[in-house]
Structure 1
């Protein structure tokens, strides 16, 4: 009897130690915090960064103002990154049209998304939690809510081969662009996803930074137009489109519906289970068909000017499923490329040369994701 009582007491103590105490804070209605997709890490020449999106839905009947958002190591509570003020405002977007003039105020029943990237410390956290400090508009008092605990994925799959040859090519992407690939959700099939979370638009330039010869309004005058597009790994062709016509001028490219925004495309299922997407291809140039087996380096098509495009380029991204807009974007690395420099201000693209990489720094890069707006050369 005594043994049974001791066991029951031990069980009750264990349950009590694992039960979060009820506090005034825990009873305060506020935000529902969610991380819909597992945070994904990727390595560039600047180190490893984790990409994630924190969704905050206001479940109260009053507007709430975000004051601070922190990402902490779930194991020891160490703060990994925090955003407040302008830094937080620039990372916050609300679903739908904002109902208030302040970008940090989330109205009742509305959802905001904080787009977050944070550099990994030497000891990589396996799980993280989020701490949100907020206030009601009626007073200066702040409250805190903890939540959205999640694991972190550091898997990027086997390094990929180049999608193009030679160069220079500009890797166009940037995390803070309001309508950049990294911040565009597609809600199809009952779930909101970011297919282009790690997408890159590849645009060819010459050594002076020009993107076109002669008249840049003619797609065929662009330096990258007609370049051969390559399979980045051993793969099977899943889907293609080869019949969309090109606008005869860049300025006259019409608006496209969501189903047509990729233009002509090729989708590959890589042998490791990931999917690679190539978009804006030249009409009639696709040389592969669904079900065909490919080897890394095989020619798929030619770079063109179809779909939603401001000029001939290759859109490339990797995701976890075969749907171009109904899958989550996944990180990838390229096995090898030369890092020539970068554009600190992309508005200079086509007008001026990029900033060269310092001579003391190694140009040859391996197993990395090209950082934002860098200029690279692929093996020929």
Structure 2
């Protein structure tokens, strides 16, 4: 009797296993999904937004065409954002040679990165997942892969003071630029990182939108050249470089290796453990030394034209470590500034006035990361 009962149980288990196997979806190789740096939240003029990068590697022997990418709350399953069509194509970048415009296929053995931003105003998930719908080669139905589960960081450091005085200053940055700060990885020390994820290039303009007085090919003729660069908080100086000369002409500035592209720079360690970087400083203008304690508003150096620069400006970013190229960029906000308007088309910078801020849009901004290509005024 016992032997018969064991046999019946074994048969029942085998039948159940076969039934489960028959009902389970077919398994096939597809994308490896990774989030290398946890998503971070920044306060912007559009509200609270999450910024992240989703890495996809094609582990098949055929191209996989992306159809839909969704971010979901891992706990509730709620869809937080979804990208498809042209919107998805604009956010997709390859590691290696770029693809043709609008192409959303990832080739065999290739990695692509999708740059995502989505609002987190009413709903703030603690953990998210990513759902990718894709199409294998012709004749095979579309499929779905789910993964890259990760926590969202809502940590926000103390608002910072202005890095410069007066203005108008244009906050030059845009998430969609192929070679913009947000999309530049540095693979050093065995890991790929984005130090300038939230970086801003500050360019001075006049009321007509000009960047130079008369001769834009002469660095010293630029409106921002020589402007005082200020400590954004009470901090400690951890790195100084002041041994690079400037090109006498903007048009003849040579190419620079990675170690030199920041030109002369200063790095300060903030009280909360973040690091603030000031790059492209004027030779001989740096007024601080490693180990100095500086106070918010103190002059660190002057804006110049050293390193990899297309014109005198201040590159400013905040990261989680002291390495200029081997740390992850972190969000920051400025305690206060006046919003004058923005450049909807950045190619007009230096040639035409900016667009005035929208009717009803507040002039005085507080605890905010300046929007893409915003034109702002700091206190004198």
SS in 2 for 1:86: helix
**Counterpart for residue 374 of structure 2:** 374
Following superposition, the deviation at residue 360 of structure 1 comes to 3.1
Does structure 2 retain, via aligned residues, the 8 Å contact 1:93–1:103?
no
Contact 1:29 1:60 in 2 (8 A): yes
Q: Please show how residues 215-294 of structure 1 align to structure 2 within 5 Å.
A: 215-294=215-294
Please state whether the residue corresponding to 1:42 is helix, strand or coil: strand
Distance 2:258 2:32 in 1: 30
Q: Residue 165 of structure 1: CA displacement? A: 0.5
Distance 2:56 2:67 in 1: 13
- In structure 2, the partner of 1:55 is 55
- Which deviations, in whole Å up to 9, do the C-alpha atoms of 1:43-82 show, x marking residues without a partner? 1122111110000111122221111111111121111111
1:191: how far off? 0.4
Residue of structure 1 equivalent to 2:315: 315
Does the 8 A contact of 2:47 with 2:121 survive in 1?
A: no
Separation in 2, partners of 1:48, 1:270: 23
1:303 aligns with 2:303: yes
Distance 1:301 1:166 in 2: 16
| SS of the residue 1:176 aligns to | coil
Q: Which residue of 1 aligns with 2:84?
A: 84
Distance change >3 Å, CA 140–CA 100, structure 1 → 2? farther
State the secondary structure of the residue aligned to 1:249.
coil
Give the match's secondary structure for 2:347: helix
2:194·2:328 contact (CA, 8 Å) conserved in 1? yes
- What TM-score do you get using the length of structure 1 for normalisation? 0.92
Displacement, 1:141? 1.1
Q: Does 2:58 correspond to 1:64? A: no
Alignment partner, residue 188 of structure 2: 188
Q: Secondary structure at the match of 1:291?
A: coil
Scaled by the length of structure 2, the TM-score of the pair is 0.92
Displacement of 1:222 in angstroms is: 0.3
* Superimposed CA distance per residue, residues 313-351 of structure 1 (whole angstroms, 9 cap, x where no aligned partner): 000000000000100000000001011111111111111
Computing the radius of gyration over CA atoms, which structure comes out larger, 1 or 2? 2
Supply the distance in 1 between the matched residues of 2:40 and 2:215 (Cα, whole angstroms).
41
Question: Could you list the per-position Cα deviations for residues 256-285 of structure 1 after superposition, in whole angstroms to 9, with x for gaps in the alignment?
Answer: 111100000001111110000000000110
Question: What is the CA distance between 1:100 and its match in structure 2?
Answer: 8.5
Q: CA deviation at 1:97?
A: 2.0
- 8 Å contact 1:305–1:312 — kept in the other structure? yes
Indicate if the aligned counterparts of 1:277 and 1:324 stay in contact, CA closer than 8 A: yes
- Residue in structure 1 matched with residue 45 of structure 2 by the alignment: 45
Q: How many residues align?
A: 361
Shift of 1:109: 1.6
1:194-209 aligned within 5 A: 194-209=194-209
Give the aligned CA root-mean-square deviation in angstroms: 1.7
Q: CA deviation at 1:21?
A: 9.7
**Superimposed CA distance per residue, residues 70-105 of structure 1 (whole angstroms, 9 cap, x where no aligned partner):** 111112111111111211111111111258897311
Kept in 1, the 8 Å contact 2:86–2:102? The answer is: no
- DSSP-derived class of the 1:232 partner: coil
Structure 2 equivalent of residue 148 of structure 1: 148
- Output the CA distance in 1 between the equivalents of 2:162 and 2:226: 16
Aligned to 1:170, the other structure's residue is in SS state strand
DSSP-derived class of the 1:89 partner: helix
Give distance in 1, aligned partners of 2:371 and 2:158: 18
Note closer, same or farther for the CA distance 1:22–1:145 as it changes in structure 2 (3 Å cut): farther
Deviates more, 1:297-306 or 1:100-109: 100-109
Determine the C-alpha separation between the residues in 2 that align with 1:23 and 1:138: 25
CA distance in 2, matches of 1:310, 1:375: 19
- Tell me, which stretches of 5 or more residues in structure 2 are unaligned? 1-19
Using the alignment, how far apart are the partners of 1:71 and 1:104 within structure 2?
18
